[in-house]
Amino acid sequence: MRCSLLQCTALKRNHALYPQLHSYCRGKPTCKNCDTTSLITPHPSIHTPPGFSHFLEAYQEIPNRERERPLFLSFHTSLSLSQQPPHNVSATAMSPVSDVADGDTGDLFADPEDYYPPTPPPTFQTHTLSSGRVLTLHLVGYSPTEAHHLWNGSRVVSNYFEADPTRVKGRTVLELGAGAGLPSLTAGILGAKKVVVSDFPDVDIVQTMQKNVDEAGDLEGIVVPKGYVWGADVKPLLEALHEPAAATGGYEKKFDVLVLADLLFRHSEHGKLVDTIRDALVRRRDGVAYVFFTSYRPWLRHKDLAFFDVARERGFLVEQVLEEKLEKPLFEDDPGDVEVQKTVSGFEVRWPEELLEG
């Protein structure tokens, strides 16, 4: 088998990085799930440009089942996810379509046109509400951000809202990393005042969220799709609320409810997720972030749970409110403890009393 990293077309065209990687990897036994641990701290004789280690770290965070699709793994996208761009690499060198940067290797490492599988087509799944209403949830064919899955956490959050509609009724809601946006659609149906359903600002992802809102039939103007990168300025999200500070008791209007469903496996992003909670969650007693997740890699559950350590360090209160075991795991062929993979844990993150406003 050939090394997955070496088969990444976007990286191959990034001429500032690929020759070093090729020199280091070629000739080594590799497989489609190659272990890149040794590449994080490469041999001293191998010069790695700024940003190279961030790409490899992002690559390691991708579940093994997704490493089989190196064509769709973009160095540029990985850096966007980590929000740590290589300052000394030119835009031309970073471009996944550049063939004119210094050091162009031409077709030296080119693969046959039909070497890679075609981009998977969009898919859809359904979810049935307690009322019997069936929601059709469209998904992108593939995304490095994992937006092509309907995660178990999303279904459980949706059910959690249905069990007590007052959790969202008449309130403003922001969902992060929404993918199909099931919790957002459910919140809108249950009477939320305004819902911003957000995910990585990729055209296909945002358009897919909009399609799900449109097909729900009665959520226009209530559920608003937005592209958003975790940790970035939340003002574009807050603008959807359209309420001046004077109308909200003298403090800036923010969201009453945040939803984070199955995002904690992105360990390097925990700090940015907490930053967004800090900037977007209203400082009232009823302001709450619902953080539901499954440890799809059971051996890394301690890293998933580390998110709550970050939240506590930033001054938030954390309380577990749910643990639900499903009939089967989302990925039935994945390695690890199946019982852990079937379990969805739900937590509430709130402001402490001394930091409340209004």
Annotated binding site: 151, 177-179, 199, 230, 261
Q: Measured between alpha carbons, how far is 120 from 143 in angstroms, rounded to an integer?
A: 10
Helix (H, G, I), strand (E, B) or coil at 304: helix
Asked whether 19 and 83 are in contact (CB, 8 A), the reply is no
Residue whose C-alpha is closest to residue 79's, from 98, 93, 99:
93
The residue behind tokens 């690559």 is: 59
Cα 66 to chain center, whole Å? Answer: 14
Exposed (0-12), middle (13-18) or buried (19+): which is 28, by Cβ within 10 Å? exposed
Q: Helices H, strands E: what count in the chain?
A: 13, 9
Q: Measured between alpha carbons, how far is 128 from 135 in angstroms, rounded to an integer?
A: 6
Neighbours of 94 (CB within 10 A): 20
Residue whose C-alpha is closest to residue 229's, from 59, 85, 71:
85
Radius of gyration of the chain (CA): 21
Exposed (0-12), middle (13-18) or buried (19+): which is 143, by Cβ within 10 Å? buried
The type of residue at 222 is I
How many residues are there in the chain? 358
Residues of each annotated binding site for S-adenosyl-L-methionine: 151, 177-179, 199, 230, 261
Q: Measured between alpha carbons, how far is 291 from 175 in angstroms, rounded to an integer?
A: 10
The residue behind tokens 């995002």 is: 263
Cα 305 to chain center, whole Å? Answer: 16
Asked whether 216 and 209 are in contact (CB, 8 A), the reply is no
**Which helix (H) or strand (E) element contains residue 194?**
strand 194-199
